[in-house]
Amino acid sequence: MLAFSILIALFAAGCHKKPPVAPPPAPAPTAPPAAPAPEKPAVLEFSAEPSSIERGQSAILRWSVSNATDVSIDNGIGTVPANGNRRVIPGDTTTYTLTANGPGGNISATATVTVTAPAPPPPQQTETNKGTFDSRIQSDLQDAYFDYDSSNIRGDARTALTADADALKRIFADFPNGTILIEGNCDERGSAEYNLGLGDRRASAAKDFLVQLGVPADKLKTISYGKERPVCTESNDACWQKNRHDHFSAGQ
């Protein structure tokens, strides 16, 4: 904290304390020597300590100015002596500007007190986040559909999963701790046991495809429900197609 204050002070000095190092003006060769020009005011110090406070705490402004006839600080402090300090309790981050006027000109400098909010309480258990995570999964990710007794990623599934890969990257950016479950499902044809293996293969086929497109593998889990969780229970082609799919849900 102290080092940081010094840094701020040095920064302020570096910006505004130019005159002492400026070379003297070249003497006029012919004119008689005139009275020496009055020196420009200089801000030797203007700092806030500490420079960062939590809301409700105070900081001390310190300043030291030379060659000035009047010195003032804004933000309601007003005219101050050439050297001094003042305790301030800013409600928000405030940059104080010190202005010094003298016969040689005027100069200003600034010092900033950064006000941080007190540490917020920890967020409520992921309930609300999870809801958002779930809703993002529901709204942003599309199912991938399969041919009968196949786990090949066919054309429409390729399109869907390519869009899903982008959506997943955005979702993981917003929910870095989230994991996704890819659920492999089958239609009612074929035996329950075989379909369990087929659903597993469908889920892992989608996972492999997404990983190839840059989705982190460790964020994707797979599960097979075989034909045990149909979304449609009629025995016709349309219904069977609906049931031959990979669906996305939030992992645990």
Contact letters for another protein, residues 156-195 (x by CB under 8 A) = --------------------------------xxxxxxx-
Whether cis (ω within 30° of 0) applies to the bond prior to 123 is no
**Closest separation between CB of residue 137 and another protein, Å?**
17
C-alpha angle 158-160-163 in degrees, rounded to nearest 5 = 105
Q: Which residues, other chains included, contact 194 with Cβ-Cβ below 8 Å and sequence gap of 6+?
A: none
Among 13, 44, 82, 196, binds another protein (CB under 8 A): 196
Stretch that binds another protein, among 72-80, 98-106, 157-165, 215-223 (CB under 8 A): 215-223
| CA–CA distance, 48 with 65 (Å, rounded to integer) | 15
Identify the bridge partners of residue 72 per DSSP, sorted by sequence position.
79, 99
Which residue bears the tokens 């889990």? 221
Among 82, 165, 211, 223, binds another protein (CB under 8 A): 223
**Structure token digits, residue 110:** 């600034």
**Closest separation between CB of residue 210 and another protein, Å?**
15
Closest to 59 measured CA to CA, from 71, 67, 49? 49
| CA–CA distance, 144 with 165 (Å, rounded to integer) | 12
Identity of the residue, 85 or 179, whose beta carbon is nearer to another protein in the bound complex: 179
Contact letters for another protein, residues 44-83 (x by CB under 8 A) = ----------------------------------------
Which phi and psi (to 5°) does residue 195 adopt?
-65, -25
Among 147, 156, 174, 228, binds another protein (CB under 8 A): 228
Contact status: 236 vs another protein (CB under 8 A): no
Residues at the site binding another protein, with contacts judged by CB under 8 A: 149, 188-194, 196-198, 200-201, 203-204, 221-226, 228-229, 235, 252
